[in-house]
Structure 1
């Protein structure tokens, strides 16, 4: 019975470490997906001259989860009559929990909403392009950080479980 308890403790701590490592590894992927979604949005706004609700719908269909839900909520808010800036801000607030992004990532992504629907296509293009460059820099740093941190949390989870077993025995 004691052996079974030890195995469960080690496995549960190890799973916690693996879960944290997964979330850390997801961050660079989500940043890349965000950049790709913004590139598509930029194309729809600048070259397609697509209205924002329709542009968000197109981006929603071509994005992966969780960005799909993000742009779906944006589309719904615009259809209800909200301004693009407030819809972007409120959607960010509602959707944050579904992402593995940090607060500083959201601060950069928030910059997109400041220019949406308020200026002409070229200004929106400049704003989205600037955010994409910033996201690229953040993504590169996040990849380096994720490689180190994910490995650490994986080991720490299992080693924490082993330490817990040693303390209890």
Structure 2
């Protein structure tokens, strides 16, 4: 992640989410509910897709009853950012573990119980933070989980050197004689 520059492009978030859900191929009874409003924005589509794919995939993978589970996607305006949420009705996460789940190679289940590497949420956190956003979870055991993250409405502006610095960098430097 982050090693190869990827161009920003126009993303219809509703279309992106439908593609993510289709790619995950959830059981027929598993529902993903989308809100009325979902934005269109210019951003790195691959990274936004990776965030949603991981969060929705986790809701499906860790659900006690994935054949009847529900995930609700939310989106609110938060100034320069959109505030997205991915809420499930699964088993929830004890608040004691909320920080741990974002640490690489940390899982809350036995490795032989579910196929999990413990890198997914760490990558999600890194992607969100590289975009200038934040991510967190609200959950309690037995009450589902709600992952909330901010994503910029506009791509970050490319920083250019200040005019004085650029002029100095382009001027000839005398060599010692």
Interval containing the TM-score (normalised by the shorter chain): 0.3 to 0.5
**What is the TM-score when the length of structure 1 is the normalising length?**
0.33
**What is the TM-score when the length of structure 2 is the normalising length?**
0.32
Give the structure, 1 or 2, with the largest relative contact order (CA under 8 Å, sep 6 or more).
1
Which structure has the highest strand share of the two? 2
Which structure has the highest helix share of the two? 1
